[in-house]
Structures are given as C-alpha cells and as structure tokens.
Amino acid sequence: MANHGTPFPAIRMRRMRRDPFSRALMRENAVNASDLIYPVFILEGVNQREPVLSMPGVERVSVDLLLKVAGECVALGIPVLALFPVIDSALKTPDGIEATNPDGLVPRAVRALKQAYPELGVLTDVALDPYTSHGQDGLIDDNGYVLNDVTTEMLVRQALTQADAGVDVVAPSDMMDGRVGAIRAGLEEKGHIHTRIMAYSAKYASAFYGPFRDAVGSAKNLGKGDKNTYQMDPANGDEALREVALDLREGADMVMVKPGMPYLDIVRRVKDEFKVPTFAYQVSGEYAMIKAAAQNGWLDHDKVMMESMLAFKRAGADGVLTYFALDIARKLKAGQAG
C-alpha cells in the first residue's frame, strides 16, 4: 500500500530480519566450542558413575571414565575441563588437609588427564569445601567464622599441590581476601611460572549453588550454614568491581563472575571496566532450572541452552563454565556437518 503523505517507518528494522542471509550477516555474537569450560564431578574407584539427581544428565565419574569424557572434549574442540571432587567422608576434617595430599583424588586425576591428553587444558578449584567436615570453604573458629589468613595459607598449599600435579589453571573459588596474591607468590617461588589463575572474583552467596553441593556431597556437612561472611551479597554491583580490581592487581590472569545468567549485568560491567579475560559460571541451579522445565515440556531444551550461551557472549563473557558444554559442542558440530 502506498504511503504518500502519511507517516511511514523511515527505518524498517525488519528489513534485515526478513531473510536468513541478512540475519546471518548482521549477527553480532556467536557461540563456539572454544568458549566452553566443562565442569566434571569426579569420585574414587574404577568404572564408577553416579547420577546427580538434582542435575539431570550430570554424573560423577571415576578417573578412568573421566579420561573418556576428556577424549570427547578434545574431539569436540572444548579447550578446558574443570574438576570437582567428591571426597570420601572419612577424609574430611575441620582443616580440610586432604586438599594438600599429593596423592589425593584431584592430583591423580590431573596427572592422568595431562598424560592422556596433554593438549587439553585442566582447571582445578582451589577451595576447601569438598574437604572440610563442616562444609565451609576454609578453616573456622569456635563460632564457625571462616578465618581468612590461615585459610589462605592452606589454599596456597592446595594450589601448589595441584600445580605440582601439572594443572594448567588454578581457580580459587573461596573468596578469601588476598588469596590470589598469596597463590601467585607461592607459584612463582616454586617455579610454576606458567600456571594460570582464573579467580572467582565476584562470587555471590547464591542459592543457585544448591545442586552443586549435592553433587560434591558438601550440602550435608554445611547443614543450615551459609557462606554470607565471605561470598558477596547479591544486592551489590559496585563491590564486584572492587573485588575484580584487587584480584587483577594480585596477579589473576582471568576473572570470573558467578552465578551467570542472573548476574549478566556484572559480567558486562566487569568487561567494560577492565577489558580483561572475563568468564561466567552458569551454575548448577541454572542448569537444573532449564533441565526441569525442559523435562516437563515447558521449554525447548536446545533452544534455551543455545540462547543462554548467546546471552553470556552478548554480555561480554569470553567463555562460560557450563554443565551444558558437551551438549552445546555436539550441537555445534552437528550444525556444521548438516
């Protein structure tokens, strides 16, 4: 219909959306397998696998089966795998000293991975919660308060144990003050000059971690306890920038925001302010929400999964830790073939 003399849209935004070719042409962000870090829960034994009930599709696996997962990551182009251990209750103590055992589950898994797939990046969490009998990320006093500086000493020992085993990236997830600097100094002193630090810099005291605590078995140790005296208040944004600034000054190579989707404003602010490698963790509860809705037929699993990844990229994340990593990489590969 002609529009002579009447107002019409001078700019028709829909023109570029009309056809697949022009949509592809103007697309600003894309998801690649190289954006993904795959978190894996590991346990003792041989040929062991246990489903995590609150995370459909996620299993805890023994180290021999972990190697198969690693092979799949390599084949799909996923650059890094992150390890989270399920520690035998008998080994849990108030000080979490098992975290420094050179023959513990994590160092053994790291050695096996680096031997089998030297090209695959391996990241390990630095925090004591899988190892403590009380489920906190550090050592506590008589009132249950997590002590900063003695915890930091233990974290340095844990990080060095992991570095000695050959890990590529240590990722302190504990939120103690000064731990990045202490870990960096320890690594340098021991000659581990190539070990990268991905700092969980802006880590919030979030209820979205619930399924993870089931997965590593720290939920029962933690009981009604919370982590509010060291993890950040979800109400705060500016504070995240101060946390990131400190970790960078202390020697972090990469910073992370956690959780992911509810905190994309923080990802964007961090990226804009610092312009450093910035990561986000799509945590267990985010994964569980999408899975549960998809299982009920309320959401389209693959579409929501891919859309959530695009949202991370658009917010400025250079990469995402996600339990969907294998599913995403498989889908990307199928898309290329088809």
Query: Which range, of 88-96, 205-213, 244-252, 271-279, touches ligand PBG by CB under 6 A?
Result: 205-213
- Which of ligand PBG, Mg ion, none lies near 312, with the C-beta cut-off 5 to 8 A by kind? none
Tell which positions 186-245 bind Mg ion, by CB under 5 A: 243
Question: Which of 115, 121, 117 has the alpha carbon at shortest distance from 78?
Answer: 121
Residue 53 Cα distances to 95, 238, 323, angstroms: 29, 36, 14
- List all residues 6 or more positions away from 49 whose beta carbon is below 8 Å from its beta carbon: 59, 60, 61, 62, 65
Query: Which range, of 123-131, 138-146, 291-299, 310-318, touches ligand PBG by CB under 6 A?
Result: 123-131
- List all residues 6 or more positions away from 322 whose beta carbon is below 8 Å from its beta carbon: 36, 37, 38, 39, 260, 281, 282, 287, 309, 328
Tell which positions 220-259 bind ligand PBG, by CB under 6 A: 227
- How remote is the C-alpha of 65 from its chain's centroid? 21
Contact between 250 and Mg ion per CB under 5 A: no
Contact between 312 and ligand PBG per CB under 6 A: no
Annotation marks residue 68 as catalytic? no
Contact between 209 and ligand PBG per CB under 6 A: yes
Total chain residues near ligand PBG (CB under 6 A) = 12
Q: Which of 258, 271, 291, 313 is catalytic?
A: 258
- Which of ligand PBG, Mg ion, none lies near 283, with the C-beta cut-off 5 to 8 A by kind? ligand PBG
* Nearest to Mg ion of 108, 196 (CB atom): 196
Annotation marks residue 203 as catalytic? yes
Residue 129 Cα distances to 138, 203, 212, 268, 322, angstroms: 7, 15, 11, 29, 20
Query: Which range, of 13-21, 87-95, 121-129, 186-194, touches ligand PBG by CB under 6 A?
Result: 121-129
Binding mask 10-29 for ligand PBG (x = CB under 6 A): --------------------
Provide the CB-side half-sphere exposure for 207 (13 A, CA).
Answer: 2
Query: Which range, of 99-107, 159-167, 206-214, 296-304, touches ligand PBG by CB under 6 A?
Result: 206-214
Provide φ and ψ at 228, rounded to 5°.
-70, -20
- Which of Mg ion, ligand PBG, none lies near 243, with the C-beta cut-off 5 to 8 A by kind? Mg ion
Tell which positions 161-200 bind ligand PBG, by CB under 6 A: 173-174
User: Using an 8 Å Cβ cutoff, are 235 and 284 in contact?
Assistant: no
Residue 314 Cα distances to 71, 308, 320, angstroms: 29, 10, 12
44 is in an annotated binding site: no
Give dist(CA 150, CA 94) in Å, integer: 13
Give dist(CA 105, CA 77) in Å, integer: 26
What minimum distance in Å lies between the beta carbon of 18 and ligand PBG? Answer: 40
- Which of Mg ion, ligand PBG, none lies near 212, with the C-beta cut-off 5 to 8 A by kind? ligand PBG
Burial of 167 (0-12, 13-18, 19+ CB in 10 A): buried
Number of H helices, E strands in the chain: 13, 10
Q: Which of 114, 203, 227, 291 is catalytic?
A: 203
* Nearest to ligand PBG of 65, 123 (CB atom): 123
* Nearest to ligand PBG of 205, 245 (CB atom): 205
Question: Which of 53, 49, 60 has the alpha carbon at shortest distance from 292?
Answer: 53
Residue 7 Cα distances to 3, 102, 137, 316, angstroms: 7, 74, 63, 38
Q: Which residues bind Mg ion (CB under 5 A)?
A: 243
Active site residues: 203, 258
Annotated binding site for Mg(2+): 243
Q: Which residues bind ligand PBG (CB under 6 A)?
A: 125, 127, 129, 137, 173-174, 209, 212-213, 227, 283-284
